[in-house]
């Protein structure tokens, strides 16, 4: 019998943070997930009421080091599938704009490639975790390219150990 890979046991944000701290040696000091994060209302991130209904909550991992250039956001979605449109809308409200508006001055912003979205979605016991990262669109295209890495408890041990190409 093949032992389970630790990633197969991650199905919520606190278990992911525990994995990052204990297995990958991220400098995470607190045991409490709530102490490690800032809360955001979906409306603060520019989501309309129909889009906000798809979001249970949004949390930002507090910076792990001084002057940390990247932001990590935990987005807990309601629907059975990852709602890419809502994720793009959140991205649009967190990324540095070429022309800044006056009302965004109080909210932190990041370069496109310095944002990581960790999302949970799915129904009941079939919740999945995905890592989503946006990069510049190909050939100067204005639409950022989305790359998603996901897993659930059904992924096999060998599949989880295979190096990413």
Can you give the pLDDT at residue 103? 47
> What is this structure's pTM?
0.80
d(CA 83, CA 120): 11
In a domain, 44, yes or no: yes
In a domain, 41, yes or no: yes
In a domain, 69, yes or no: yes
d(CA 82, CA 109): 23
Element holding 92 (H helix, E strand): helix 84-94
Encoded tokens for 53: 């209904």
Q: Find the domain containing 113 and state its range.
A: 6-159
Return the number of other C-beta atoms located less than 10 Å from residue 5's C-beta.
16
* pLDDT digit string, tens, across residues 28-86: 988 888 899 999 998 888 888 888 888 888 999 999 988 888 899 999 988 677 788 88
How many domains are there within the chain? 1
In a domain, 1, yes or no: no
In a domain, 165, yes or no: no
In a domain, 40, yes or no: yes
d(CA 146, CA 162): 22
Helix, strand or coil, per DSSP, at residue 74? strand
């Amino acid at each position: 019998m093949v032992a389970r890979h630790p990633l197969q046991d991650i199905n919520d944000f606190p278990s992911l943070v525990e994995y990052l701290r204990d297995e990958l040696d991220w400098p995470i000091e607190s045991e409490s997930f709530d102490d490690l994060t800032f809360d955001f209302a979906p409306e603060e991130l520019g989501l309309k009421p129909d889009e906000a209904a798809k979001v249970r909550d949004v949390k930002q991992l507090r910076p792990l080091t001084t002057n940390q250039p990247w932001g990590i956001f935990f987005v807990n979605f309601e629907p059975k599938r990852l709602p890419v449109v809502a994720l793009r809308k959140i991205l649009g409200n967190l990324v540095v704009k070429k022309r800044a508006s006056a009302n965004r001055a109080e909210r932190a912003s990041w370069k496109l490639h310095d944002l990581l979205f960790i999302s949970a979605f799915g129904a009941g016991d079939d919740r999945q975790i995905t890592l989503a990262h946006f990069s510049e669109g190909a050939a100067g295209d204005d639409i950022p390219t989305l790359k998603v890495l996901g897993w659930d408890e059904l992924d096999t041990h060998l599949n989880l150990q295979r190096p990413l190409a």
